[in-house]
Chains A and B, each alone.
Chain A
Amino acid sequence: MQAKKRYLISLLTGASLVLLLYFGGVPGPAPATSRHERARGGGGGGRRSGQPWPHASEPFQPFSPGDETDTEEYNAHVSPRQKREVHASVYRGKRCRMDSCFDFSLCRRNGFKVYVYPQQKGEKISESYQSILAAIEGSRFYTSDPSQACLFVLSLDTLDRDQLSPHYVHNLKSKVQSLPLWNDGRNHLVFNLYSGTWPDYTEDLGFDIGQAMLAKASVSTENFRPGFDVSIPLFPKEHPRSGGERGHLRANSIPPFRKYMLVFKGKRYLTGIGSDTRNALYHVHNAEDVVLLTTCKHGKDWQKHKDARCDKDNAEYDKYDYREMLHNSTFCLVPRGRRLGSFRFLEALQIPSTVRSIHQDKILALRQQTQFLWEAYFSSVEKIVLTTLEIIQDRVLQHTARSSLMWNSHPGGLFTLPQYSSYLGDFPFYYAGLGIKPYPKFTAVIHAVTPLVSQSQPILKLLVAVAKSQYCAQIIVLWNCDKPLPAKHRWPATSVPVIVIEGENKVMSSRFQPYESIITDAVLSLDEDTVLSTTEVDFAFTVWQSFPERIVGYPARSHFWDSNKERWGYTSKWTNDYSMVLTGAAIYHRYYHYLYTHFLPSSLKNMVDQLANCEDILMNFLVSAVTKLPPIKVTQKKQYKETMMGQSSRASRWADPDHFAQRQTCMNKFASWFGGMPLVHSQMRLDPVLFKDQVSILRKKYREIERL
Chain B
Amino acid sequence: MCASVKYSSRGPALIPRMKTKHRIYYITLFSVVLLGLIATGMFQFWPHSIESSPEWTLDRRSVHDAPLVKLPVSSPIPERGDLSCRMHTCFDVYRCGYNPKNRIKVYIYPLQRFVDEVGVPISSTGLSREYNDLLSAISDSDFYTDDVTRACLFVPSIDVLNQNSLRIRETAQALAMLPRWDKGMNHLLFNMLPGGPPDYNTALDVPRDRALLAGGGFSTWTYRQGYDVSIPVYSPLSAEVDLPEKQPGPRRYFILSSQTAIHREYRTELERLKEENGEALLLLDKCSNLSQGMASARKRCYKGQVYDYPQILQESSFCVVLRGARLGQATLSDVLQAGCVPVIMADSYILPFSEVLDWKRASVVIPEEKLPEMYTILKSIPHRQVEEMQRQARWFWEAYFRSMKAIGLTTLQIINDRIYPYAARTYEEWNNPPVVKWSSVSNPLFLPLIPPRSPGFTAVVLTYDRVESLFRVITEISKVPSLAKLLVVWNNQNKSPPEESLWPKIAVPLRVVRTKENKLSNRFFPFDEIETEAVLAIDDDIIMLTSDELQFGYEVWREFPDRLVGYPGRLHLWDHEMGKWKYESEWTNEVSMVLTGAAFYHKYFNYLYTYKMPGDIKNWVDAHMNCEDIAMNFLVANITGKAPIKVCISYLLACINKFASVFGTMPLKVVEHRADPVLYKDDFPEKLKSFPNIGSL
Contacts and interface: CB of A to CB of B under 8 A. Distances in A.
Interface string B601-628: 0111011000010000000000000000
Given A69-B324, A403-B360, A686-B674, A364 B604 contact: yes
A692 B674 CA distance: 12
Interface string A559-596: 00000000000000011111000000000000000000
B361 A684 contact: no
A578 B679 CA distance: 11
B52 A251 contact: no
Contacts of B108: 52-53
Interface string A26-57: 00111111111111010011111111111111
A53 B43 CA distance: 19
A403 B47 contact: no
Contacts of A357: 422
Contacts of A630: 559
A60 B440 contact: no
A18 B673 contact: no
Interface stretch (B58-66, B249-257, B537-545): B58-66
Given A56-B62, A56-B132, A423-B384, A684 B677 contact: yes
A54 B436 contact: no
Contact of A368 (B199, B446, B452, B684): B446
A425 interface: yes
A80 interface: yes
Given A84-B368, A683-B555, A689-B674, A66 B263 contact: no
Interface string A379-413: 00000000000000000001101111100111000
B361 A403 contact: yes
Contacts of A426: 382, 384
A582 B55 CA distance: 81
Contact of A53 (B135, B286, B365, B450): B135
Interface string B430-447: 010001101111111111
Please report whether the interface of chain A is mostly helix, strand, loop or mixed according to DSSP.
loop
Contact of A638 (B330, B683, B689): B683
Contacts of A95: 221
A251 B606 CA distance: 16
Contacts of A371: 447, 449
Contacts of B361: 403, 405, 424
B261 A689 contact: no
A546 interface: yes
A54 B111 CA distance: 8
B440 A79 contact: no
Contacts of B682: 574, 638
B678 A361 contact: no
Contact of B452 (A7, A52, A251, A574): A251
B29 interface: yes
Interface in B174-217: 192-193, 197-200
A254 B673 contact: no
A128 to B, nearest CB: 29
Nearest to A17: B10
A36 to B, nearest CB: 7
Contacts of A433: 428, 440-442
Interface string A629-647: 1100111001000000000
A634 B673 contact: yes
B348 A689 contact: no
B125 A28 contact: no
Contacts of A11: 29
B366 A79 contact: no
Interface in B130-177: 130-133, 135-140, 144, 146, 157, 159, 161-162, 164-165
A535 to B, nearest CB: 12
B325 A75 contact: yes
Contact of B33 (A18, A356, A432): A18
A687 B678 CA distance: 10
- Chain B contact patch, size range: 35 or more
B165 to A, nearest CB: 8
Contacts of B680: 685, 687, 692
Contacts of B199: 77-78
B637 to A, nearest CB: 11
A434 interface: yes
Contacts of B647: 689
A579 to B, nearest CB: 11
Interface stretch (A144-152, A153-161, A219-227): A219-227
A576 B694 CA distance: 14
B68 interface: no
B555 A250 contact: no
B200 A77 contact: yes
A421 interface: yes
- Chain A contact patch, size range: 35 or more
Interface string A1-33: 001001100110111011001101000111111
A97 B221 contact: yes
A67 B407 CA distance: 22
Contact of A701 (B10, B64, B139, B589): B589
**Which of B25, B56, B325, B369 is packed against the most chain A CB atoms within 10 Å?**
B56
Given A29-B3, A254-B606, A684-B678, A628 B220 contact: no
Contacts of A434: 436, 440
A681 to B, nearest CB: 9
A99 interface: yes
**Which of A52, A426, A685 is packed against the most chain B CB atoms within 10 Å?**
A52
A357 B450 CA distance: 26
A221 B451 contact: no
A689 B675 contact: no
Interface string B650-679: 000000000000000000010111111111
Nearest to A634: B673
B296 A683 contact: no
Interface in B218-244: 220-221, 223, 225-226, 233-234, 236
A96 B235 CA distance: 33
A686 B444 contact: no
Interface in A209-254: 221-222, 226-227, 249-254
B500 interface: no
A73 interface: yes
A553 B197 CA distance: 67
A191 interface: no
B265 interface: yes
B643 interface: yes
Interface string B253-288: 000000111110110000000000000000000100
A693 B569 contact: yes
A434 B431 CA distance: 11
Contacts of B559: 629-630, 682-684
B506 interface: no
B63 A546 contact: no
A690 to B, nearest CB: 6
A164 interface: no
A692 B448 contact: no
B220 A633 contact: no
A372 interface: yes
Contacts of A60: 126-130, 132
A457 to B, nearest CB: 28
Given A75-B261, A688-B674, 4 more contacts: A50-B55, A405-B431, A410-B448, A690-B589
Top-5 shortest CB links A-B: A45-B61, A435-B439, A60-B129, A423-B385, A435-B440
12 contacts: A29-B52, A46-B44, A56-B62, A63-B128, A69-B259, A253-B531, A372-B446, A399-B377, A687-B680, A688-B589, A688-B672, A689-B590
Interface of A: 3, 6-7, 10-11, 13-15, 17-18, 21-22, 24, 28-39, 41, 44-64, 66-71, 73-75, 77-81, 84, 87, 91, 95, 97, 99, 104, 221-222, 226-227, 249-255, 356-358, 360-362, 364-365, 368, 371-372, 398-399, 401-405, 408-410, 421-426, 432-436, 539, 542-543, 546, 556, 574-578, 627-630, 633-635, 638, 680, 682-693, 695, 699-702
